[in-house]
Chains A and B, each alone.
Chain A
């Protein structure tokens, strides 16, 4: 279990110092990671795309489960796409998340539930089924009812712009990797 942190932050991404980053993590440009977010890449690397919004107390975990040790030797890579929003307190364990998804507050994704594009997982909903959720599906309610939305949710560009300007005023940021000069 390597505790060496190998974090590649693209220029333009806003990553606060107080967030917990462990393992091999790649963060795309214009992604905002709030303080107290937790990204743990123990079992394998995590690749996060662009324009994502990861709020406080959020946990993005790629950790090994003790029951089944990885026999094949394949390292599970967690890939998160672009324009996703992970609201406060959400927990993501799955390996594949597409674009334009919204994980509302305190939602939970198990290791086998993968999201495609445009899905909205409602507040408090726990999804642990072994499936890939179809596009534009809204999961809501205490009993995780589902509904097909007309189109994908609105990308939070305005919020990301605002945070990019305001967060550096109040928090220390992690340094992003410098672009290699030709």
Chain B
């Protein structure tokens, strides 16, 4: 039972601001909204492209040109593992003296998993390790590029007409011009007064629009000329080792080879590094470093580092109808102390409704969120249906009173002095044990059904230390998060 199994991960679920339940490892904490965000409440953006094998960074424009494939690395056409370059020595008559033979290193591609080599399809061994491996050319690429040029011209003409009709003296935002067929560069060049690059003719002013390239339609093939399938297909026995599977064919959409005799290795797909942004306040929640080999983050606002983590510590035998005790371990990951309280789910709902009522009375209208970066974009906010009503199946008896959570102190393991409670007194019934920033808290549960799920809300204090750098004020807010614990099966 590894710690990443779904059952183990989903024993403690937190309710995200949108309503979905996630384990704490899948949640982010927005420091400005002071709320939890899950994968659905953030917008995912592409940061950079890199090859997973050679770890080479690639600017997005270049990646687009190369169809998001790495130039140096190949995938095995058989098992899609990464191909490695192997060397072998070949005796070759040396240049000075034809009678003597010297060893020369030649390179071939080999797969370490299924042992496919480039020699299987007859690719000649290369003399250079980086090897200019011959590639298959798409027989239709020329036709496709002429068609693309043709349609690009038409789209550009349409755009110009639309623009000239709409232009009434108002300033037109560049962002509205969509990048259909790669037009935005053409339009921006036109605006800035530089000569147009397309269609060979230099355009002056707005009146003269470029004429689209005349493209002849493709020659139709008469049905009589189509050769029937060779009858050998019906009579020859099928060698299953030679026929490619559908997955192998679809990995190379251009050619879709049917047998292994002419299957070529494909270039490796690039991977992306993504950054995540809160949809409401547009602040970055997660931003990785640019270097592909680095796993660190520039900005990492994971919930694990800001929200108290609840772990099931010890559970007594669960019997239906009887009250059993269980102990949870609460860990405070922040650098400041926090006072924790446990609130039942009904009370949590009441508090939330009251807060919203107060907000409405104050007159704060619920604005439609507008993206700060791009005023024309309206981010979509996810709101899941509230399923928390049915999730808790057992009655939980929450401890009364507050529990102090000491801050995280990295030097504490070397200091045997004991935990500094900052003046708070512990209730021995609730707090079972303490260890630096961890507390063991005892609760009681009365199972009603076989599957025991307990739900309550934790209320803790969050101190925002880096929020306002100019004012140097330290804001402390009281936050509430509903939590659901799956305790197990009751007999």
Q: Which residues of A contact B (CB under 8 A)?
A: 120, 122, 138, 140-141, 145-150, 153-154
Q: Which residues of B contact A (CB under 8 A)?
A: 78-79, 88, 113-117, 119-120, 241-242
Q: Give A88 Cβ to nearest chain B Cβ, in Å.
A: 16
- Determine whether the beta carbon of B115 is less than 8 Å from that of A120: yes
**A140–B88 CA distance with the chains assembled, in angstroms:** 24
Other than the known A122-B113, A138-B114, A141-B79, what 12 A-B pairs have Cβ atoms closer than 8 Å? A140-B113, A140-B114, A140-B115, A141-B113, A145-B114, A147-B114, A147-B241, A149-B116, A149-B120, A150-B120, A153-B115, A154-B88
CB within 8 A of A140: which of B79, B117, B119, B241? B79
Residue of B nearest to A140 (CB): B114
User: Cβ of A146: which chain B residues have Cβ within 8 Å of it?
Assistant: 241
User: Cβ of A150: which chain B residues have Cβ within 8 Å of it?
Assistant: 117, 119-120
**A149–B78 CA distance with the chains assembled, in angstroms:** 11
User: Cβ of A138: which chain B residues have Cβ within 8 Å of it?
Assistant: 114-115
Residue of A nearest to B119 (CB): A150
**A166–B171 CA distance with the chains assembled, in angstroms:** 80
**A122–B79 CA distance with the chains assembled, in angstroms:** 13
Q: Give B310 Cβ to nearest chain A Cβ, in Å.
A: 37
Q: Give A5 Cβ to nearest chain B Cβ, in Å.
A: 37
User: Cβ of A149: which chain B residues have Cβ within 8 Å of it?
Assistant: 115-116, 120
Residue with the greatest number of chain A CB neighbours at <10 A, chosen from B115, B116, B117, B242: B115
- Determine whether the beta carbon of B78 is less than 8 Å from that of A147: yes
**A172–B351 CA distance with the chains assembled, in angstroms:** 80
Residue of A nearest to B78 (CB): A147
Residue of B nearest to A123 (CB): B113
User: Cβ of A147: which chain B residues have Cβ within 8 Å of it?
Assistant: 78, 114-116, 241
**A162–B79 CA distance with the chains assembled, in angstroms:** 33
Residue with the greatest number of chain A CB neighbours at <10 A, chosen from B113, B114, B119, B120: B114
Q: List 29 A-B contacts (CB under 8 A).
A: A120-B115, A122-B113, A122-B114, A138-B114, A138-B115, A140-B79, A140-B113, A140-B114, A140-B115, A141-B79, A141-B113, A141-B114, A145-B114, A146-B241, A147-B78, A147-B114, A147-B115, A147-B116, A147-B241, A148-B241, A148-B242, A149-B115, A149-B116, A149-B120, A150-B117, A150-B119, A150-B120, A153-B115, A154-B88
- Which A-B residue pairs are the 5 nearest by beta carbons? A148-B241, A150-B120, A140-B114, A138-B115, A147-B114
